[in-house]
Structure 1
Amino acid sequence: MPIPDIPGVKADRGLAEQFRAEVAHLLGRRNNNFPGAQPVSFARKHLRELMEHDYYLCEKTDGIRCLLYFTNDGPNEIHYLIDRKNDYYFVPNLHFPRHDDPSYQTFHTGTIVDGELVYDQEPGGLKLRFLVFDCLAIDGKSQTEKPLDKRLGYFRTLVMKPWEELFVRRHPEERQFLPFELVFKEMSFPYALSWMFDVKLPDLKHGNDGLIFTCKETPYIFGTDEKILKWKPAHENTIDFRLRLGDFPPLVANGNTGGGGGGGGPDFDAKPNFDLMVFHNKGDYRAFAPLHVTDDDWEVLKSVAQQLDGRIVECYKDAAGRWRFKRDDRGRPHFRDDKHEANHVSTVDKVLESIDDAVSKEDLTRSEQRIRDAFKRRQAERERRAKEEEAMRRMREEKRKRESVGGGGEAGGVAYNNGEPADKRLKPEPS
């Protein structure tokens, strides 16, 4: 499945800086860097983590990670996609109605959602969709301090449901004019692993390269989040390096090789050495390992007919322990032109730990019953505590009524948050 390009018009430097400052202020941050959370690679120790804390499970979509920023220009709503490079792309013809306006004319501003742009394969061709998996702010209020289930609950109630009511139920014919459709990414129980591998993944309409486990109990973290776990099959466990070309071999001075002989100069048809560089600090890249390039690989690299030196390329470690470039759907190197920098050395260390201490699909499915049992125990304990607290509340209320003079007033109602608990919206447990 092809990876989509980001639609829209890229904002110039000055305008982008203005938006970066707005977003930082909205989120209560002191810097203007890309605020998106980043996962860590799944290692064996994380099996215990899934047994001790509540997580959501979803498939890892192979698309373009973006934030979607809702703001306004005077009376008009405007929307920008924000990529990993922290560049802003104006996307016209989007409308996100508010939940409290029956006319569906008013719109959200000061809102940021996190998601993935992806092509879905439909009978009529490819359909561009934005899969939302988190929410950072709604209508000028940061949601990042709330746990994930509350963030998703607010998003579903305040943003997703009004959009679905307008564009899915009332005016579905209008969706064809949208640059992309909004979709809430399905979340499952963390122990629904066999169902995920056997039912969900084979039925996907888009590319997939693993699983994501996200803790439902914790706030949104800017940058690396140790509570977002990225599991990939061994062949998909990759690192993004900066590619550095070494010297080309010299021409052989016999008149019959490479660029036609003559000797002395470099033979640009011959295969050079390739170094994979790791990002340590700003401007500080250090050699990590050679890139293993076969003769066939070299022909593929030449066929790209683009600059290779300095590009960020996704690589995997083969069975012989050699680093190879990952190929895209066309068999070409998967260059990460959506990123300014290669993976930081700290990320590289975590991926290497994940590779050396790899957790297989079979390891996951063997653990699902223990994950389920632990999840159910925590759930039962929460329900027990909730019943005790409710009983205590009622006892206090009855005591207050008895002690009040003249009968007192009516008991106050239980306060509910906006948005149903996210657990109620999870996919049914697999049978």
Structure 2
Amino acid sequence: SGFPGCQPVSMDTENIKLLSEKPYRVSWKADGTRYMMLILKENEVYFIDRDNCVFEVSALRFPHRKDLKRHLVNTLLDGEMVIDKVNGLDIPRYLAYDIIKFEDCDVGKLEFYPVRLSCIDKEIVQPRHQAMKEGLIDKATEPFSVRLKQFWDITQAASLLSEKFSRMLSHEPDGLIFQPSKDHYVAGRCSEVLKWKPLSHNSVDFKLKIVTEEGDGLLRTKIGYLYVGGKDQPFAQMRYTSALKDLDNKIIECKFQDKQWIFMRERTDKSFPNSQNTALAVCNSILYPTTKEKLLNFIDQHRWTQNDQDLMPPPCSRSSQIVGSVSDEDHFSQEIMKELYNLTQFLNFKIQLK
């Protein structure tokens, strides 16, 4: 689909070894809808979805930390929208978990933890909270709230998988995300960012094509053919059920259970199926699963160990110093910057037509 956002890969018995080679942070995997958020300037905030569809987000403000009456410009966030259940109400929240560009600075070149996470907190989330306190933002008029998605040391993985943590969340978790602490942001598929799901949640997004098979002496039988991206031949097939009746040529999420693919839900947020590489990686993780017990044991016995210098984190720098430390000669990932430029030009063109 050409979506510029970072795409994690499924954890398996081979790539789990990355957790022993360098520092990682861990967070829960939310079952949300992925959006990159482009903040061009005041009244020009946009979402970019997995299909590279761009749409405007109205009535959402991002004040500048140093001057709350100023608005952030040329800032690109990565995150996901979740619907939290609070006192019986559906509350939409955008969980920002990474930042690629801040006020024209390529912060995506800097390390994830603590720099990029601190940038989101200090430059995006906290100024909004302060503006609310001062009456400059009325959250009741905003379409959704914006929060930082927290990441912890990987020793907290067991806690994130506990029933207690699951009850604390207002939405359903479906696994874990392991993010390299010191790496820069990577556009597209990234073999260093790992997603772990329990076997019951491992799934592939296919394009479904319903066909009717018939032949001499055979009854007409409907079958679901499952396609992956860029391939003309079906990757697999599934038994037709009434649940598939209206899903011909739709993107559906399936899990592999009892030696067959089982329909889980329609992916209305996607227009393209997973790639063959992604589908094969998921199949590999199903055939050779990293169970919860194996994962937690590996973290306990083989995780990368911090040295003494890393045990005590340095004092947090001022965010202006953080983003200002990017050299003018640093050029962030060509793919995502090209995508950002094209989107910006497209949006400016649309604005001129208004």
Q: Same fold (TM over 0.5)?
A: yes
Residue 335 of structure 1 aligns with which residue? 266
Q: How many residues align structurally? A: 318
Instruction: Specify the SS of the correspondent of 1:241.
Output: strand
Asked if 1:177 corresponds to 2:141, the answer is yes
Contact kept in structure 2, 1:312 and 1:341, CA below 8 Å: yes
Unaligned runs of 5+ in 2: 323-354
Equivalent position to 1:361, from 276, 292, 302: 292
Contact kept in structure 1, 2:238 and 2:260, CA below 8 Å: yes
Q: Distance in 1 between matches of 2:76 and 2:199?
A: 33
Over 6 Å off, 4+ runs? none
Q: Give the TM-score normalised by the residue count of structure 2.
A: 0.82
Q: How does 1:152-231 map to 2 (within 5 A)?
A: 152-167=117-132, 169-171=133-135, 174-198=138-162, 199-231=164-196
- Structure number, greater radius of gyration: 1
Q: How does 1:228-377 map to 2 (within 5 A)?
A: 228-247=193-212, 272-280=222-230, 284-293=231-240, 298-302=241-245, 306=246, 308-318=247-257, 320-326=258-264, 334-371=265-302, 374-375=304-305
TM superposition shift of 1:110: 0.4
- Higher-RCO chain (CA-CA 8 Å, sequence separation at least 6): 2
C-alpha change, 1:133 and 1:324, in structure 2 (3 Å) is: same
Residue 54 of structure 2 aligns with which residue? 88
Instruction: Specify the SS of the correspondent of 2:127.
Output: helix
Please tell me the root mean square deviation across aligned C-alpha atoms, in Å: 2.8
Q: Distance in 2 between matches of 1:325 and 1:300?
A: 8
C-alpha change, 1:162 and 1:301, in structure 2 (3 Å) is: same
TM superposition shift of 1:64: 0.5
Q: Distance in 2 between matches of 1:317 and 1:229?
A: 20
Q: Distance in 2 between matches of 1:201 and 1:172?
A: 34
Asked if 1:128 corresponds to 2:92, the answer is yes
Q: Distance in 2 between matches of 1:236 and 1:93?
A: 36
Q: Distance in 2 between matches of 1:336 and 1:214?
A: 25
Residue 40 of structure 1 aligns with which residue? 9
Contact kept in structure 1, 2:40 and 2:75, CA below 8 Å: yes
C-alpha change, 1:172 and 1:366, in structure 2 (3 Å) is: farther
Contact kept in structure 1, 2:19 and 2:299, CA below 8 Å: no
Instruction: Specify the SS of the correspondent of 2:153.
Output: coil
Q: Distance in 1 between matches of 2:316 and 2:94?
A: 33
C-alpha change, 1:355 and 1:172, in structure 2 (3 Å) is: farther
C-alpha change, 1:243 and 1:124, in structure 2 (3 Å) is: closer
Contact kept in structure 2, 1:59 and 1:210, CA below 8 Å: yes
Contact kept in structure 1, 2:32 and 2:82, CA below 8 Å: yes
Give 2:319's aligned amino acid. Answer: N
Give 1:114's aligned amino acid. Answer: D
Q: Give the TM-score normalised by the residue count of structure 1.
A: 0.68
Q: Per-residue displacement from partner, 1:4-32 (whole Å, max 9, x unpaired)?
A: xxxxxxxxxxxxxxxxxxxxxxxxxxxx9
Q: Distance in 2 between matches of 1:382 and 1:158?
A: 25
Q: Distance in 2 between matches of 1:274 and 1:184?
A: 40
Percent identity between matched residues is 26
Q: Per-residue displacement from partner, 1:381-430 (whole Å, max 9, x unpaired)?
A: 5469x99xxxxxxxxxxxxxxxxxxxxxxxxxx99462799xxxxxxxxx
TM superposition shift of 1:341: 1.6
Q: Distance in 2 between matches of 1:289 and 1:126?
A: 37
